[in-house]
Amino acid sequence: MVLFGKIWRTFDDQQRNWMPAFDGLSLMELRWISVELANVEFISSDDDGVGYEGSMLKGWFKRLYTHLTTSLLNPDGSTRAQDAQPARQAVVEEVKACRIRDAKKQIKKQALRRLAFDPDSGLPDDCRDPVAIITFYLESSPDLLELDDDPNDAATDAQVLLAPDIDEFYSNLPLIATPLSTILSTTLNDIRTIANAGTSDSAGSGSTPVPSEPPRTTRARNRQAMLRSITQVSLASQLQDRIRALRQVQLTELPAARTRMAATAAEVLATRAAVLERTVMLLERAKHGAMARAAKAKADHLVAVAQGIEGKLNVTKLDILAAIHTPEVVDALHRYYQHLQDTRERLEERRAMALEELKSYEDSTDGVGRGPMKELARQYGSLIQEVEDVRMEIERLHV
């Protein structure tokens, strides 16, 4: 009655204009008012005991109900006042797109269900279990997957528990694609048949309908649907048991394993720290310890000794050179050098004279081309031949 009072206060008795009273009301309030006006029974149909105010109120409610049901609201309860507004059209289009997306999702889910539980779907047997598990996971509400008191990580836990099945499903996609496409094509044809049923009925309304027997495939599908429902219950219970068992393992064994792993990691880190400490200590001793300093001092001492010995050797070398190269020795060497120069010049002169004599022998040839040198060569060759013959005779005698 609060809404009625709100409308009544804005109602003008003189103008009888109730249109401004609905400007601030929502669609739900308008629907509630129309329902309440339809159920108003406190106004009597007899005007004798009602009076002027009652008659006016009755007429006002009647006009108000007529205005609501004919001008503001559609027969299905939707509003008429906002249908032409752009915002309303955008919302309607968005709702229609959401419905289309939801219908596509439902069609895909039904196709996966049929692919998993229909023996004639053409899916290999080893691929049915992953497809069935994925189908149940998609059709299950988030409340069914909450196995603990924390609802935030329920879906995440379910995905972690079903990760092997999800990976197997993705790996079997090439085998699933062909039968799934066939099922989707069949579903699309069925939807087209249903959508065109009204057009076909209106087009053929003048002809006499011919009764037809239900196809055999429909009965087979009904039987398969019953079998699928039974299989679904068993598989759903198995899936719930498996999820519960995995969750139990996760709650009991996984924390203990994590504790052991943390303890092992702590031990490894402690061992690593000890090894690093020992390594640093050894490096410190090897680089800056007493032995390192002693070795360095010994090396420096040996370097100094070697440098002293080198200096002594240089001094000894100079002393030896000074003792060997005395002035007398230097003068003797100079005189010997001059003697060698003179001898060289004499030998050069003798060589030139021998060459000239040889040339004169070569030039003194007779008219037949026989000279002294050639005669000597011929005699030398004959002598060599005779020596060779004698040597061969001696070897033959020894044999």
User: pLDDT per residue over 389-399, tens digit each?
Assistant: 888 888 877 65
Alpha-carbon distances of 137 from 73, 130, 145, 177, 241, rounded to whole Å? 41, 10, 9, 19, 14
Cβ atoms 126, 194 nearer than 8 A = no
Residue 123 confidence (pLDDT) above 60? yes
pLDDT at 118 (0 to 100): 81
Looking at per-residue pLDDT, the higher value among 365 and 8 belongs to 365
Segment (H or E) for 103: helix 86-117
Task: Tell me what the mean pLDDT of segment 104-122 comes to.
Answer: 84
Output the pTM of the full model. Answer: 0.35
Among 185-189, 376-380, 382-386, whose mean pLDDT is lowest?
A: 376-380
Task: Tell me what the mean pLDDT of segment 115-122 comes to.
Answer: 82
Q: Taking the CB of residue 47, how many other CB atoms lie within 10 A of it?
A: 12
In 3D space, the residue among 94, 93, 68 whose CA is nearest the CA of residue 81 turns out to be 68
Residue 265 confidence (pLDDT) above 80? yes
pLDDT at 365 (0 to 100): 53
- Dihedral (CA of 163, 165, 168, 173) sign: negative
Residue 332 to residue 112: CA distance in whole angstroms? 122
Residue 121 to residue 118: CA distance in whole angstroms? 5
Residues shown for the chain: 399
Residue 238 confidence (pLDDT) above 80? no
Residue 278 confidence (pLDDT) above 80? yes
Residue 183 confidence (pLDDT) above 80? yes
Residue 235 confidence (pLDDT) above 70? no
Task: Tell me what the mean pLDDT of segment 8-33 comes to.
Answer: 48
Out of 16-20, 210-214, 342-346, 353-357, the most confident range is: 342-346
Residue 10 confidence (pLDDT) above 50? no
In 3D space, the residue among 78, 40, 74, 33 whose CA is nearest the CA of residue 59 turns out to be 40
pLDDT at 301 (0 to 100): 93
Residue 111 confidence (pLDDT) above 80? yes
Residue 351 confidence (pLDDT) above 50? yes
CB neighbour class for 154 (10 Å; exposed up to 12, middle 13-18, buried from 19): middle
Token pair in block for residue 349: 């002169």
pLDDT at 76 (0 to 100): 64
Cβ atoms 70, 30 nearer than 8 A = no
Percent of the chain surpassing pLDDT 70: 63
pLDDT at 180 (0 to 100): 87
For residue 223, what pLDDT band results from cuts at 50, 70 and 90?
A: low
Residue 214 to residue 223: CA distance in whole angstroms? 14
Alpha-carbon distances of 131 from 36, 102, 113, 172, 356, rounded to whole Å? 52, 20, 8, 9, 120
Residue 79, SS3?
strand
pLDDT at 44 (0 to 100): 44
The owner of tokens 């390594």 is 279
Cβ atoms 136, 236 nearer than 8 A = yes
For residue 371, what pLDDT band results from cuts at 50, 70 and 90?
A: low
Residue 73, SS3?
strand
Amino acid of residue 194? I
- The mean of the pLDDT values for the chain is 73
Token pair in block for residue 114: 């049929």
Residue 143 confidence (pLDDT) above 50? no
pLDDT at 359 (0 to 100): 79
Task: Tell me what the mean pLDDT of segment 100-122 comes to.
Answer: 85
Residue 226 confidence (pLDDT) above 80? no
